[in-house]
Structure formats: C-alpha cells, structure tokens
Amino acid sequence: MGKAGMMLHGRRWMQASRSLRRSGITDSGHNERIEYSRVIDFKLFAPRRDRTAAMPFIMLTVLIDMMSVGLIIPVLPTLVGSFTGSQADQAFWYGVVVFAFGIANFLGSPILGALSDAYGRRPLLLLGFCGLGLNFFATGLATALWMLIAVRLVGGAMQANAAVANAYVADITPPEERAKRFGMLGAMFGVGFIIGPVMGGLLGAISIQLPFFAAGGLAMINWLYGYFVLPESLPAGRRRPFHWKQANPLASFRSLASLSGVGRLVAVVALSGLAQFVMFTSWVLYTTFKFGWGPRENGWSLAAVGVMSLIVQGFLLGRLLKRFSPRRLAVAGLLSSSVAYVLWGAATQGWMMYAVIFLNVLGFTITAAFQSIISSAADPHSQGQTLGAVSSLNSLMAVVAPLCGAPLLAAVSHLPHGDWRIGAPFYFCAVLQAASLFLAYFHFRGERERSVTGANGEQ
C-alpha cells in the first residue's frame, strides 16, 4: 500500500473509531477493528441504494446471455437437418438434440441453484457462461449427430443461468417489487430475442456454423464481464450449507409444492411451460413446413417475439401491476395465450403469425407473474433452490416437449404448404394452456375463499 493509500485508510479508521466512540463502543482496539469491519460489511451489503445498483449489472448479463442463445435458434434445426435425409428424420433427431439438453438441465438446475445459495450467485453464473461457450463452439465444430447430442448433454448440465439470474434479482428486491423486477429481466430476454435470432438468421445465410461461433464468442464476453464487473448479490450471512438431499429434482419439487400459496401452481407452471416449449421446439420446423420459411424469415419472426416481450415486460408490466395483482395477470395471460396458440396453428399465411404475436399482449406477463408469486412465498435463504426448482421443472418440460412436438410434426410433414393440419403442435399447446388456466383459476379462487374464511374467523 502506498503512502497516500495508508493516509486514506488511516483517515477512514479514525473516522470510524470516532463514530464508534460516540456510539458508546469504546472497548479495546481489537474490538474497534471488529466493529470497523462490521461498518464496512454493512456499507457493502445492507443499504438498498447500494444493492439495487446491481440490477443494471444482471440485466446486461441476461441480455448478452439471451443474445447468444437466440443466435442459434433459427439455425439449429437446419444444422440437424444437414445430418439427416428427410423432413421426418430431421424432426425426430431435432427432438432428440433438444431432449438431450433438457434432461441434463433438468438434473443440473436444482443442484446449481442450491450451490448458488451456498456459494453465491456470481460463481454459478460464471460456470454457466463457460458451459454455454463450450457448448456453442463444440456444436459448430460437430461433424456427426452423436457429437451434437453429447455436446448438448454437457452444456445443459453446466448452466442454470436463468434460475440463478432470477435468484440474483430476488436477493436485491423486496417482495412487493419482484413482479416488476422480474418483468425488467424478462425485457432483457426480449431484447436478446430481438437481436439474437436476427443475427443468427443473417449469419446462418452465410454459413450454418457461423452463428454458433458468434454465440460462443458472446458467451465468453459474458464470462469476462461477469468476472471483472458483475458484483455478488448474496451476502455471506444469508447463505446456507449445500445438501445433496435438497438438491435433487424430486426433493426440490416437493419443497416447491409445500410453499404456502403455491401447491397446485406447480402443475400450472408445468403445463404452461410444456405448452411454451412445444411451441419453441416446433416453431422453426412448423413455419418451414407450412410457409417454406428459412433461417432469415424465422429469425425475423422470433425477433418480433422479442420486441413484444420488451414492450410488455419492459414498459407495460409496471403499469399493469398498478391496476391488477400478479394473480389476475397470470390468469389473463393464460387465457390470451390459449387463444394465440389456436390462431398460430390455424394461420394460412406468414403475416398472420406476426399479427398473433402482437395481439398476444397479456401472454407475455405470465412468467413474471408466476415467478413473483412463487419467489414471494419462499424465504430469503432459499431463493436459489426455489427458483432453481422452477427452472428444473421447466427443464423437465423441455425434455417432454420434443417427445410431444416432434412426432406431431413428423406426422404432418408430408402435407402441402398452408394446410391447417400442420398446426397440430399448436393445437396441442392450446389444450395444455387451457388446462393450466383451469387449474390456476380454481387455485386462486380457493386461496381467496380461504383468506376470507380466515378473516371472518378472526373477527
């Protein structure tokens, strides 16, 4: 330490000592040093004005993360198709590749979430960025289908970035503001989905492997940003030991279902998540089979999804939450998206897909609403495990989705362009979403009746 640094440190030491003496804490110098360290810890971790400053950091992290993921979406089915001989085989093996990532992520997410409760969010985010980067580079270099599957297995097991990022936000946000903050995070997902798929479509038109190398580069940039800039959100005093029993997926599901006010919502999140993942895994092949779209057209359509996510979650969600509770928004969003799935499946021209995207405004509020409800039901020490369980549940649905969507696509792959029956995966999504709407409505009505009964009993 230089002379100037020593003088500055000494000045701070004297100021802290004087403030401690004024507070009546005038024990030995050893005690003063302990109390001074507490002053520093308090300054680093406690004041909300310091801790909420981390929100822009995690938003930028999620933006870069989603850009890298969005880059590969328009081209992954085409890459799989380069190793197959027919559209039916392409649909089947694309389902296998998506399944591989989902099953690995299903097993890894609750473990990584629980580890973030024990060791902090930042180390697990860095691990996730590293896993994504290696996954993308290896996918671009793959020369056979088995290599694609192996790479996706390793990549899925190494990252739970969405769950850890949500836990990061929960760490720095009071419960009453979480829905809005989760919406802000969702807006970054939207921006990433605007930029990523468009870049992926344009780069994929040059070379089918190029988007994967670009995505790997972005993941490495995110790792560097996380290492040098991203602050930790979870103070040491709020961490808890890691236990393998609590980290396995089944135990995390039981803990999730046992949270007060959650219960049946586990099934709602599962069904809604399954509908969403069937849509995402079917989108590119569906539009290819029905409208003859390629990577460029699919990239622009997915960018439209990102634009709506940004508008709704970044700008409209805060205003909607002033008028409606997260529960009401969740129900309205489920209803809106149920109708949207039917309309997507019945679309006969490409422009109709865009029209439904922009009309399905409330459908983009579902994720933030449910995350807010579940996060508020969990205690501050288990946010990582709780949101990791939600992520694991979604990963399980990502595993099941290709088992549902791929056979449906294979069954209609022989039909001519524009045939309404090619929309079979989306009709299936509509049924799933309607079932989740039914369960959510009766769950929230039961909660309301119990709260009214409890209030009357107290009187």
Confidence (pLDDT) at 414:
82
Confidence (pLDDT) at 36:
35
Confidence (pLDDT) at 19:
42
Give the predicted TM-score (pTM) of the model. Answer: 0.63
User: Residue with structure tokens 């330490």?
Assistant: 1
Confidence (pLDDT) at 256:
64
Mean pLDDT for each consecutive 10-residue tract of the chain (459 residues)? 44 42 40 36 34 66 79 84 84 83 78 83 87 87 89 79 80 80 79 80 87 89 85 82 72 62 76 90 88 85 84 84 86 94 94 94 86 70 64 74 84 84 94 94 79 59
Confidence (pLDDT) at 456:
58
Choose among 274, 285, 222, 279: nearest CA to 75: 285
Confidence (pLDDT) at 342:
96
Domain 52-230+259-444 has CATH 1.20.1250.20: yes
Confidence (pLDDT) at 360:
94
